[in-house]
Amino acid sequence: MSESGFSLSISNPDTGGLNTTQKLGLTGVAIGLLAFLVAAFGPGTQQPLLFLLVGSTFLTVGGLVFSYQTYATKPKGIKNNHIMHQTLTNRGLWGWVLGIFLTGIYVLIYWFPQYLEHLIRVFDPLSYFLRGQQANQWFLYGTFYTGLVLVMGIRMIWKYRHSKYQIIRTSSVIFFQLGFAFLLPHIMVKLHQPEYYFSYFWPLDYDMFFPNTTTGMLNSGTLGIFMLAWGSLLFFIGTPILTYFYGKRWYCSWVCGCGGLANTAGDEFRHLSDKSLKAWKIERYMVYSVLVLITLITMLLWVNSYTEGAVFGSATQTLVSWYGFLIGAAFAGVIGVGFYPILGTRVWCRFGCPMAAYLGILQKYFSRFRITTNGGQCISCGNCSTYCEMGIDVRSYAQRGENIVRAACVGCGICSEVCPRGVLKLENGPAKGRTGTNPIVIEDGKVGLRN
């Protein structure tokens, strides 16, 4: 033992068991979940504020206590001990149980909210405080979602507190989710203004440029016009400029709520992403197909609006309904989050997000961002590929000493963090020649650098 009390043994001193403080934290989480479960069967409607305070307090404090004891009390550095052997994080029994539970919750929220009516009423006090009106299933969902990003974000900061990049990046997604995607939209409703999520825009916010939505914003006065202008500027000007300088990471890993949940609550499941060539081929076909589809639907809606329905009639609305059901709800929500414990955390981002597709095109062909590699130092341990949530075989690039310039990369930086040799580095440099050629030359059995 060292003077600090930490074991300096070469063998792993972490046995994988839970200590007393961790058990107390999990007990708090269990009590919080139990409070909301009891409320869902009716008693919560009689004393909503009590159940709201008890449930949220125990969930939050219990989660923070467990996370603090698990990560903040240990020496700085990567902590993925036992992750390949735990049933929760290796597609075992508890992983499937959690996946089924999350999927079921999403199905109830999206299509059967009447079964959550009693639980929704528990959140009325908070909803009246923020929105000035009764809660609905989307307020319930947004509250839990934001709370999860907040608690698990703090856990992420404790886990990666040795990395300034991870601390700032995680703080950023917490800020944008809490402020721009939760508090601000609800406060606007209380002020009798349109509910608008400033951190989402087209094509992720797929109906933003639909004729009805655009007309509604224009008719909402100054604020509505500002929101339409804000979304348009971000899409046409802000996104290309920011992606040119920083790659798609400025949005996918720093701002977007989908990425925020994946990089906080989903951190323990990132290694489950499929790294096969087959998955990469499917990914490219699917994600760009969704982008083409929503672009086509938007154009058809404007044609139909201009011709007053003379061309396509009700067909465009049918397309919108199916897109909202299959892509906006089933894929982005149910599969995108519900399947975290089975398929990894970026299923939606990899295979279905049109925003990721748009950003990916810009990143691959018009960006300064790249991940540089020092192939001479690579020991082929495979940590980088294992923990890439986007399913990129990072090791294959590192072995060849090639820069990583991939449309899918979200610049989370975990590949660089888990590398034991410092082979990988996230950089913004001149756009010209960033893909480059392999700087490692092997001639006559000798390794050298290309001139």
State the first-to-last Cα distance of the chain, in angstroms, to the nearest integer.
49
Range from 219-228, 319-328, 415-424 carrying the lowest mean pLDDT: 219-228
Q: Do 169 and 160 form a contact (C-beta atoms < 8 A)?
A: no
Do residues 151 and 244 lie in contact, with contact meaning Cβ atoms separated by under 8 Å? no
pLDDT band at 435 (very low <50, low <70, confident <90, very high): low
pLDDT at 155: 96
* CA atoms of 284 and 350, how far apart (whole Å): 8
pTM more than 0.95: no
pLDDT computed for residue 439 by the predictor: 45
How many angstroms separate the CA atoms of 196 and 185, rounded? 5
pLDDT at 61 over 70: yes
**Domains observed in the chain:** 14-74+112-181 (no CATH), 369-449 (3.30.70.20)
Identify the pLDDT of residue 443. 43
Residue type, 119: L
Cα 401 to Cα 439: distance, rounded to the nearest angstrom: 6
How many other CB atoms are found less than 10 A from the CB of residue 1?
Answer: 9
Q: Which residues lie closer than 8 Å to 82 by C-beta, 6 or more apart?
A: 14, 16
Q: Which range, 37-46, 55-64, 400-409, 439-448, has the best average confidence (pLDDT)?
A: 55-64
- CB-based contact 283:442 (threshold 8 Å): no
Return the percentage of the chain with pLDDT > 70, whole number.
Answer: 92
Per-residue pLDDT tens over the stretch 363-377: 999 999 999 998 788
pLDDT category of residue 219 using cuts at 50, 70 and 90: confident
The structure tokens listed for 338 are 């519900």
Q: What per-residue confidence (pLDDT) applies to 4?
A: 45
Lowest mean pLDDT among 40-44, 296-300, 309-313, 408-412: 309-313
How much is the pLDDT for 43?
80
Summarised one tens digit per residue, pLDDT across range 263-293 is 999 999 999 999 999 999 999 999 999 999 9
What φ, ψ does residue 429 adopt, rounded to 5°? -140, -170
CA 94 to chain centroid: 22
Name residues whose C-beta falls within 8 Å of residue 130's C-beta, 6 or more positions apart in sequence: 183, 186, 187, 190
DSSP-H helix ranges across 234-381:
239-246, 249-252, 257-264, 277-306, 315-323, 336-338, 340-343, 347-351, 354-366
Region 183-209: mean pLDDT is 90
Residue 5 has pLDDT above 70, yes or no: no
The Cα–Cα gap between 373 and 394 comes to: 10
Length of the chain: 451
CA distance 47 to 421: 56
Provide the pLDDT confidence category of residue 198 given band limits of 50, 70 and 90: confident
pLDDT at 15: 55
* pLDDT tens-place string over residues 94-136: 999 999 999 999 999 999 999 999 999 999 999 999 999 999 9
Q: What average pLDDT score do residues 63-69 get?
A: 95
